[in-house]
Each structure stands twice: as structure tokens, then as C-alpha cells.
Amino acid sequence: MKALTLIFIEILQAIVVIALAPAFAGWVDVLKCWTQGRTSAGVMQPYRNIAKLFVKDVVIADNASWIFRFTPYLVFGSAVVVGSVVPIISMNLFLAPSADIIVVIAIFATARFFMALAGMDIGTAFGGMGASREMMVASLTEPAILMAIFTVSLAGRSTSLLHIARAFASGALVLRPSIVFAGIAFVLVVIAETGRIPVDNPSTHLELTMIHEAMILEYSGRHLALIEWGAMIRFFLFVTLGIACFLPWGIAVTDNAGDIATSVFLMVIKLGIAGAVLVLIETGLAKMRLFRLTEFLGAAFLMATLGVIAFFILE
Amino acid sequence: MILLGLIITPFVAALILAFIGDRRFAPAINIFCSFLTLMAAVALAIEVYNHGPIIAGGKFFFVDAFSVYLSVLTAFVSMTTAVFSRGYMQREREHGRVGHVRMRFYHAMFQMFMFAMLLCLLTNNIGVLWISMELATLSTVLLVSLYRTPNAIEAAWKYFILCGVGIAQALFGTVLLYFAAEKVIGEGGEALLWTNLIGVSGSLEPTVLSLAFVFLVVGYGTKVGLVPLHNWLPDAHSEGPTPISAVLSGLLLNIALYALVRCKVLVDGSTHTHYAGNIMMGFGIVSIVVASFSILRQKDIKRMFSYSSIEHMGIATFAFGLGGSIATFGALLHMLMHSLTKSSIFFTVGHACQMHRTQEIARIKGLFKGDPFVGWSLILGAMAIAGMPPFGVFTSEFLILTATIKDVPLLAPFILIGLGVAFAGLLRKVQYMVSGDVASYFEPIKTARAPVVFHMALVLVLAFYIPDFLNKWFQAAVELLK
Amino acid sequence: MNLQVLAQVNSFLAALVLLTAFAMLSQRKINSLVTLFAWQGLFLSINTAVVGFVASKHHLYISSLLTLSIKVILLPYILHVLVVRLKIRKEVETIVNIPTTMLIGIALVIFSYHLTAPVREMSTLITRSTLAVALATVMIGLLMMITRKHAVTQIIGFLAMENGLFFAATSATYGMPLVVELGVALDVLIAAFIFGIFFFHISTTFDSLSVEQMESLREDN
């Protein structure tokens, strides 16, 4: 019975993640439009985009290999897998014990690896360029994100997301410099990882400045839909991952339906706020030159390292 | 009372000289005030000689054999420098290198520098020791850049930055020292007083003091000009006015070494090992070897003698590090001899440079024919500083070498090589400058002979005969430092 | 407020001091550098007051005020005026690129942590853990002086070192005796006066404040 409930919550969370991710992306777009004084297309626009793409035909280049066809499913699947293990609405998930934070990062990295392969698969110039840029960004973000996560796991005494969230949620509210540093680093990394300004521009149509978009230029139809959807889930997950690590208060600890409802409600509020913060950062900054990225991500890495150091020195 | 007079005189003199500015009698006031300072120092020395160490001013001042000997030396050299600088600066003004404002500044800062150095020597508080050391740096920085040539500004900037960095390390060392002392003595100003610290040095935490000493040796070592922290020294000594080179080389380096040795005594008392001594010996040896080889490459006469200062400071540092009565005695004597000889050399060099209007070795020649007094004093000074027998530097170097051969024979060859190379380098270049025909651009000038003669005579006399009181002084200082 | 919270505030401020040190290391614009320096002084000043409160050492309040007036208000103001007066707008050039300096900075922090270990173990003060940060600030100031070619940046590095030393005194021993603190403050003021004069000399003699041109005094010439 117990196990059944857990599985039920698990499925519930997975559905919530898959369903809510486009809404979150839409929310961020809406906020962005507002801050820039434009009329928005509404929160539901990403759903319409996805739906539209699903009904379109898929066009695949003649020289595309199985990697090209396989990647969209992998990207989407990996996002869903991660979405079902991260404590988002409840800490009592069936799969939660397997949610080691390093594994989560590795799953994302796998998806990214295949994405880069697919980008190069067709052999067009933009695909290859996008792939190489993406890998450059990845090589800089991954150390930073691991450092940030190490700080958190040092404080939570575990690399399991569940334990970290529990340790934080149950502990007293304390002013920990290490967590603050790690938090800042995490925000910087999320910006880079999810391809937001100032690292990448998700809505760009100028090929020369593209990173993520350049890789998926050759995709169409349902493949593109899956990739876009996967990217949205990924964005959503990074934000929830941050919430689980740095602001876990309010995530349900019991299987109680009421608790879960509160948890969902709080989560929506937190996401709304997180989205607003991201938008503020995005509108406040101009996109960086590609070669300035090393400094941006270097700062993230520095912050994360300072977090680790502060943990040892000051706590 | 005498003590207060000694410390106040230069300070008041600085104010007076800043106030009256560049008048005809300003140099005379400068000399007179330096003379008063010297008298006060001598009176203080006599008192210390008769009654032993003095603690005064609510424990703020502390004078023992070590510091009073350096105070007299400081006051003496600054007085002779003041005498020398009267004519020298007058001519610099005629050559159009300095104006009214700068002359006012020069005189005021000269006395301020004396004040800072004397405060260093007389204070009992190692925090104040640090402050006055920094003050000594700051008061000379703008003197080094007095000529406002690009090179002078560069040299002064280097001096300011490098010594600032160095001295900051020393402050960190002082903080650590205070930390250790506070555990034993308790909080408050008492825990920084040297007289209190030396009493309890046995119970100070050795690990903290060892750490503190690393910072102190880097900090004060920068001011001593120990290799590899010496980069500022040749520049600052060569680009400033020559009287300032003379006091920087002859006095400031001594004061910095004094501070270092004071700290070493504390660290030794705590660690009961030869740790601090070993560090100082290491820096000393490196300084001797590097500086003596650098002498060979110099094209600027003042730079060359600055490197010679580094070499001699290396010898003194090494000897203090070696410890033991003979080496310490040798080091004290060496500080005295180097100070007298080097300042006298700088006086001579100043004259020679003014006669040729250049500091380039290649352009200075025929001094024997041009001005025999300058020629002879230059070659004799070079021989003295290189350690030739009839002069006092030979005596002190001989003592130090003897102690080295006895205690650490393996290091003796390095010192010998250093001394030999420096000897060859100095004499080869000086011999070129004194011999040959007079250059076409040579202009005879009126030289200030008294300071040079006085210094050289002292160096010569002290080589053969160390008066009883001086001997007793040194013995007392050796007892303190052993 | 209880001691626990104050201790946390103390270490948090220490972290902020360290952060400003790194921010200064990464900053290219001189104006922002001056602002960052003022921030560092502010954190330091608050921290000193907090420590003074925790340890009930009243002379620390004086030190705190001294820091506030000299390092937060006076020096940044002087520097700002100089920057405007000397029309310094160019970005600072670095000898070593910024990410590398950052990595060196991190290494220096770790180095300081190990260096101060004996002190930390012996100390019973609640501020003992911040000593490593203080030494790191000194080291980073030093690094900044070495890797920047501009006279103003070198001075800011120098002053940042001074900040670190002040911080070290506060965290290792609850501050040096007042006479020493005052003397050090006086020295900083004189130094400020001197570098002010220097900036004018350098900029009139060399046409800019870049220290790069100052390399005629070398051994290999």
C-alpha cells in the first residue's frame, strides 16, 4: 500500500513536471515581454508551439544517422527521468533515494552529449559550430555546478538530493556564507546551462550568435517538439533543483494529500518568483561576447569554490 | 629627559625647517639641529653606559646598549650628512635640479626621517616600531623622487610600493606576535612592549612565533634589502639625491636590520632552536652572492655602491643569524663600519658625480688629476668597503668569517666568493674612474672634505683600536642578542 | 542578540570581505574598483563593530569608526577625485589574464588557511576562523598589486592589503592596542597623501598612469 502511494506520487510528479514545464517557460516569456513593454502571447503559447510542431511532418536530411533520429527521444526521456526523481512536490518519492545529485548532473550531461553529436551529424556548418560552442560552455559550467553542489552536499552531508533537502528543511535558518556563495554560483550556472541571456539568447534568429539553437537548426516536426519540450523541462528542472537545494522549505515530507497540495502551491509561488528573478537578470544584462563567457563562468566557478572554501574556513 | 630631547629635536627641527622654508640659513639650522641630536644621543649613551638600560615614558621608551649604539651612529651620520648636503644641495640648485619648494621639502623631510629612525630605535613597543619604520619609508619616498625625472619617479614608486608591501607583511607578523603575547601577558598595550615580551619569551607559543617570524623576515627583510626582496634598493639609492642615498644606505638599512634582530631575539627565546637564525643565514648568503655578482654588471656608480650595501647587509644579517658572541660582535661592528664607510663613499661619489654631471661610470674619469682629494677618498673608500686590511670593515668581516669557519665551515666559501667578486668588481671600476686623463666636461667644485675625512679616519682608527667603552657596549649588546 | 547569531554575522561579513577582494581582482574598471574598495571597508567596519560588541572591547568601536571615516569615506573619495581629475577612463590592463588570477587567488586562500592553522587551533576567540580570510585578503591585495599595470590599481591593492591586516588584527586578537591602531591609520593617511602626489607626478611625467612605461630601471639595460 505504502509503495503504491509512493508510486502514485511519483507518477503525479512526473506528470506535473511534464505538464507544467511549458507553462513555466511561458511565464518567463510573459514576464520578459512585460518588462520590455511588449504584449505577451500568454502563458499557454509554448503549449501551442509544441502542439503545432507535433502535427507537422518531419524532414530529415539524407545523410542523417540513427543518432540524429534517436537524440530527441533521449533528450526528452532524460529530462523526464530527472523530473521524476528530484524532490519537487514531495520528498517521499519512490525513486527519490536514487536521486544522487551527481547522477542527475550526469544524466543532463549525457543528453547534452547526444545533442552535440546530433548537431554535428548532418555535417552543416551551423550544427557543428553550435555543438562546439555548446561543448565549450559545458566544459565551463560543469566544474562550476559540481563545485556548487559539493558545497551543498558538504553542508547536507550527503550527495543525495533527498538528504540535502531534508537536512536543510529541518535545520534552523542559519546564515551560511558557503550556501549563499553556492546559491549565487548556481544561479549563474543555470543561466548558462539553460541558454539564457547573457550567455545565449533563446529567442535569437541570428545564426552567428546562436549556441543551443544552432545545434537544432536541422530538426523539424515532432523531433523539434520533443527537443524544445525537453529543453523546457530541463529549464524547469534546473530551477526546481535550485529550489530543492537552496530553498527546500515547504516541500512535502509526508504522503498526506493536504501536504502535497500545499507543497504544489508553494512550489508554484517559488517558481513564479524564481522566474521573475531570472527575467530581471535577463533584461538587466546584454548578451556577452562568446569569449567573455569564460569570465562569466569563471566567476560562477569562483563563487562555487569560495563556497567550498568558506565552508571549511568559516563553518 | 635626554631621551625626550633626542626624540623631540629632529621632530621640532622638521617643523621649523618646513616653516622657514628655503632660506639661506636653512642648511645651517639643519646642521645645528642634527648636532643637537647628536649631543643628546651621546649624552644618552653616556647615561646608558653608566647606569644600564633605561625604561622611560610609561614604558614607552626603552634604551639598551644595542639601540643606543645605533642611535649615536644614526645621529652622527645624519649630522655629517647634513654638513655634506649643504654644499651639495646648493650646487644641485645651481644646476637647476631643485627649486625653492623642493629645498624646503628636502630639509623638513630629512629631519622627519631622523625622527622616524630614532623613534624606531628608542621605542619599546613593537607596534610603534612598525609604525615608525613605515614613517621612515614614507618620509623618504618623496625625497627619492625629488628630481622629478622619469627615472627618479619610477624609483620612488618602486620604493613606495615594494616597501609598502614588505612592511605590510611585517605588520601581519607583529599581529601574530601580539596574538602569542596576549595569551601570556594579557590584553592591552603591555603585550607589545619589548621589555615585557623578552621576559616571557620562553612561554610564547613557538609555532605561532615561527610563523610570525616568516612574515617579519619578509617584511623587515625587504627594508634591509635582502635578496630576493631587494629590487627597490638600487633604484631608490641611485636616483635620489646623494645625501639621501648616504642616509638610506648608511642608516635606514641598519634600522631595518635592528628591527629584524629584535624580533629574532624574541623568536629564539620562544623556539629554543636555530630556526630564526637559519632563515636569516639563508637570506644573508643569497644576498652576499647575488649582490656581489650584480656589482660586476653595474654601469651607474651609485647603483654599484647600492649593491655593495646589499652585500654588506647580507653579511650582517648572516652574522646575526649565525649567532654566538664572535659573530654577533662582528655583525655589530660591521653595521658600524659599513655605515661610516658607505656614507663617506656616497659623499665622495656625490662630489664626483657633480664634477662630471653624470652617474655613469664610463663618463667619470681622471679623478686623481682632476681633484686628488676626491680621487683618493674614492679609491680608499672602495678599498675600505671591499674589506682591505687597514680598514675597519676588514676587522668585522674577519671576525664574521672566523665564526663562520668555526660553526658552519660549508658556508664560508660562499662568503669568500662573494667578498672576492665584490672586491674585484668594485676596485676594477673605481680604478678606471680615478686614473687616466681628466674629462673635457670636468668642472672642479668646492668639496666638503670634513665629513669624508672624519668618517674615513674613524674607520681606520677603529680597525686598530676599539676603545674600551665601545668594546663594553658591544659586549653588552652581544649579551642581549646571543 | 545571542552570541551564536553574532558569530554567524561575523563569519558572513568575513565572507563578504573575501568576496569583495575577489571582485576587486576581477574588476577592470577603475571606478568600480574604488567602489568595491569602499564596500570592503564598510564590511570591515561593520565587522569590527560587531566584534567589539561581542567581545565588549570598546576601543574596537573607535577602530570601526576610524575605518569607516578613512577607508569608506575619505580614501575612496580622494581616489574618486583623482580618477576624475586625471581623466582615467581606460580599462585596466592586466599582466596575467583575469581567470588565471582568480585561480591563483583561490590557491592563495587555501594557502592562507593552512598557514593560519596553528593560530586557529590555539585561539579561543569566536573570530578565530576569520583569520584565514584576513590573510587571504592580504595575499589577494598583493596579487592585485603584482598583476595590474596601473598605478591606481596598485594603490588600491595596497590599501586592500591594509584592510586585510586590520582585519587580521581584529580577528586574531580583537584588535591591536589603540596606540598602534591609531599609528597605522596615520601611516595610511600619509601614504594616501603621498600616492596622491605621486599620481600627479606620474601622469605629468609619463602622460598616463600606466606603470608599464616605468621600466627603464632594469638590470639588463
Dump pLDDT digits (tens) for A205-215.
Answer: 777 777 888 88
Q: How far apart are CA A300 and CA B1, in angstroms?
A: 63
Q: For B12-55, what is each residue's pLDDT tens digit?
A: 999 999 998 888 889 999 999 999 999 999 999 999 888 888 88
* CA angle, C93 then C96 then C98, to 5°: 80
**Total domains present in chain C:** 1
Chain C neighbors of A295, CB-CB under 8 A? 26, 98-99
The answer to whether residue C218 is domain-embedded is no
Average confidence (pLDDT) over A99-113? 88
Average confidence (pLDDT) over B243-260? 93
| Contact C30/B at CB under 8 A | no
CB contact (8 A) between residue B171 and residue C184? yes
Confidence class of residue A174 from pLDDT cuts 50, 70 and 90?
A: low
| Residue-level pLDDT at C180 | 86
Alpha helices per DSSP H over B60-99: 65-94
Average confidence (pLDDT) over A46-56? 92
Give the residue on A whose Cα is nearest the Cα of C10: A314
| Contact B151/C at CB under 8 A | yes
Q: How far apart are CA C171 and CA B244, in angstroms?
A: 39
| Residue-level pLDDT at A173 | 59
Interface mutation target, options A302, A303, A308, chain C, most CBs of C under 10 Å: A302
- How many angstroms separate the CA of residue B92 from the nearest CA in chain C? 20
Average confidence (pLDDT) over B84-91? 91
CB contact (8 A) between residue C110 and residue A306? no
Chain B neighbors of C180, CB-CB under 8 A? 125, 127-128, 130-131, 192
| Contact B206/C at CB under 8 A | no
Residue indicated by cell numbers 631587494 = B230
Enter the ipTM.
Answer: 0.92
**Total domains present in chain A:** 1
Mark which residues 174-193 of B lie under 8 Å from C by CB. 174-176, 178-179, 182-183, 187-189, 191-192
Query: What rounded mean pLDDT belongs to chain B?
Result: 90
Confidence class of residue A1 from pLDDT cuts 50, 70 and 90?
A: low
The answer to whether residue C22 is domain-embedded is yes
The answer to whether residue C219 is domain-embedded is no
Asked if pLDDT for residue A153 goes beyond 70, the answer is yes
| Residue-level pLDDT at B135 | 92
Q: What letter represents residue B429's amino acid?
A: K
Domain range for A29 is: 2-314
Q: For A36-50, what is each residue's pLDDT tens digit?
A: 888 888 889 999 999
- How many angstroms separate the CA of residue B167 from the nearest CA in chain C? 10
Q: For C47-67, what is each residue's pLDDT tens digit?
A: 999 998 888 888 889 889 999
| Contact B148/C at CB under 8 A | yes
Handedness of CA B265, B270, B271, B273 (dihedral sign): positive
| Residue-level pLDDT at C221 | 43
Domain range for C135 is: 3-212
Across the interface, of B138, B234, B239, the residue whose CB is closest to C190 is B138
| Contact B235/C at CB under 8 A | yes
| Residue-level pLDDT at B29 | 92
CA gyration radius, chain B: 21
Contacts of residue A177, Cβ cutoff 8 Å, sequence gap at least 6? A307, A310, A314, A315, C11, C12, C14, C15, C16
**C-alpha distance from residue C73 to each of C17, C38, C43, C51, C82 (Å):** 17, 7, 13, 21, 14
Across the interface, of C12, C16, C110, the residue whose CB is closest to A309 is C110
Q: How far is CA B245 from the centre of its chain?
A: 10
CB contact (8 A) between residue A309 and residue C99? no
Average confidence (pLDDT) over A96-104? 81
Chain B neighbors of C158, CB-CB under 8 A? 161, 164-165, 168
The three-class DSSP label of residue B439 is coil
Chain B neighbors of C218, CB-CB under 8 A? none
The answer to whether residue B197 is domain-embedded is no
Chain C neighbors of A298, CB-CB under 8 A? 98-99, 102
| Contact C1/A at CB under 8 A | no
CB contact (8 A) between residue C179 and residue B211? no
**Total domains present in chain B:** 1
- How many angstroms separate the CA of residue C124 from the nearest CA in chain B? 10
| Residue-level pLDDT at B473 | 84
- How many angstroms separate the CA of residue C149 from the nearest CA in chain A? 20
| Contact C8/A at CB under 8 A | yes
Asked if pLDDT for residue A137 goes beyond 90, the answer is no
Is B282 in contact with B389 (CB distance < 8 Å)? no
Give every residue of chain C whose pLDDT is below 70, as ranges: 1, 90-91, 217-221
| Contact B208/C at CB under 8 A | yes
Q: How far is CA B252 from the centre of its chain?
A: 4
Reading the block at residue B31, the C-alpha cell is 646642521
| Residue-level pLDDT at B190 | 80
- How many angstroms separate the CA of residue C4 from the nearest CA in chain B? 23
Could you tell me where the beta strands, DSSP code E, fall in B209-283? none
| Contact C189/A at CB under 8 A | no
CB contact (8 A) between residue B161 and residue C158? yes
**C-alpha distance from residue A160 to each of A86, A247, B138 (Å):** 10, 16, 57
Across the interface, of C5, C106, C130, the residue whose CB is closest to A314 is C130
- How many angstroms separate the CA of residue A313 from the nearest CA in chain C? 6
Give the residue on B whose Cα is nearest the Cα of C218: B235
Chain C neighbors of A294, CB-CB under 8 A? 99
| Residue-level pLDDT at B401 | 94
Cis peptide before A87 (omega within 30 of 0): no
